[in-house]
Amino acid sequence: MDKLIITAAICGAEVTKDQNPVIPYTIKEIGIEAEKAFLAGASIIHLHVREDDGTPTQDSQRFMACIKEIKNRISDIIIMPSTGGAIGMTDQERLQSIYIEDIEIASLDMGTMNFGDSEIFINTEKTIINFAKEMYKRGIKPELECFDKGMIDTALRLNEKGIIQSPMHFNLVFGVRGGISATTRDLVYLINTLPLNSTYTITGIGQYEMPMAALSIGLGGHVRVGLEDNIYVSKGILAESNAQLVEKVVRIANEMGRDVASPYDTRKILGLK
């Protein structure tokens, strides 16, 4: 098995300090959370950024400032900007996060879905193709965000057309209301539909974060955790930091005999430039 890549989704676009006061908003808070997550064992930071008041933004300047802050603290960490942004943002707005030098990998959302009780996360095929082409042009590997089986099928179809290149790297997300459920049955089902030469990371939302992580560690997949997906460290207890969630994954991996990947290992496993 490859070493375990741990991605920390430290900020997100939806969660707020009202829900958990340690959600980072400012450039400095984002830098500190990223550094602590790295020291705990994360090699990738999945990055959303905010204005100081918590408003989500895809502004290139703000992304650049946050990336600089993180890289000043840990020079070799891998930063994966979100191109999903927040619900309701335009495509043009969302793409700003990759109009920056030296981005190695970015998220690419593979379909439209209900997102929670009243929102729709819109990713038409035209949008996906446009984003994929832009990433290809810039030498950025897409992490294919799939919240359901049909989104994997879209990735496979665009791969056949040469719009998304092999080997593909997937993030399979379980437990968003509107997406696939967070069950062992569905996790095994989705993994079995992936091309053999692809890599995947698993994200479980809310209470499903650690159970899905443990399954992925055992099966040879990779893991994403962080406050974007889950604000609790255990039932009813708010996480004190992203690092606390990463530490939990490292403990599970240690118990299961899986080594954790450094940024160097991660670049090799994912074939990043």
By CB under 6 A, name the binding residues for ligand KMH.
Answer: 13-14, 82-84, 86-87, 107, 109, 115, 121, 145
106 three-state secondary structure: strand
Residue 226 or 258: the one with the smaller Cβ distance to Zn ion is: 226
Nearest-angstrom CA–CA distance, 118 and 131: 25
Output the smallest distance, CB 95 to ligand KMH, in A: 12
Residue 82 or 241: the one with the smaller Cβ distance to Zn ion is: 82
Determine contact, residues 247/41, Cβ cutoff 8 Å.
Answer: yes
Strand partners, 8: 45, 225
Tokens of 6: 């741990």
What does 112 interact with, of Zn ion, ligand KMH, none (CB < 5 to 8 A by kind)?
none
Output the smallest distance, CB 246 to ligand KMH, in A: 18
Stretch 43-102 residues interacting with Zn ion (CB under 5 A): 82
Output the smallest distance, CB 107 to Zn ion, in A: 6
Residue 38 or 121: the one with the smaller Cβ distance to Zn ion is: 121
Q: Is residue 123 a contact point for Zn ion (CB under 5 A)?
A: no
What does 131 interact with, of ligand KMH, Zn ion, none (CB < 5 to 8 A by kind)?
none
* Torsion-angle region of 184 (φ positive above 0: left; ψ -120 to 50: alpha; else: beta): alpha
202 three-state secondary structure: strand
Number of residues this chain uses to bind Zn ion (CB under 5 A): 1
Residue 35 or 109: the one with the smaller Cβ distance to ligand KMH is: 109
Residues 6 or more apart whose Cβ sits within 8 Å of residue 16: 23, 54
Determine contact, residues 46/226, Cβ cutoff 8 Å.
Answer: yes
Residue with tokens 């074939």, as numbered in its chain: 271
Output the smallest distance, CB 31 to ligand KMH, in A: 19
Output the smallest distance, CB 216 to ligand KMH, in A: 18
What does 86 interact with, of ligand KMH, Zn ion, none (CB < 5 to 8 A by kind)?
ligand KMH
Residue 105 or 249: the one with the smaller Cβ distance to ligand KMH is: 105
What is the Cα 40 distance to its own chain's centre? 17
Output the smallest distance, CB 160 to ligand KMH, in A: 23
Residue ranges in the chain assigned as alpha helix (H): 27-40, 60-73, 91-95, 125-137, 149-160, 184-192, 209-219, 242-255, 263-270
Residue 49 or 250: the one with the smaller Cβ distance to ligand KMH is: 49
Binding site for Zn ion (CB under 5 A): 82
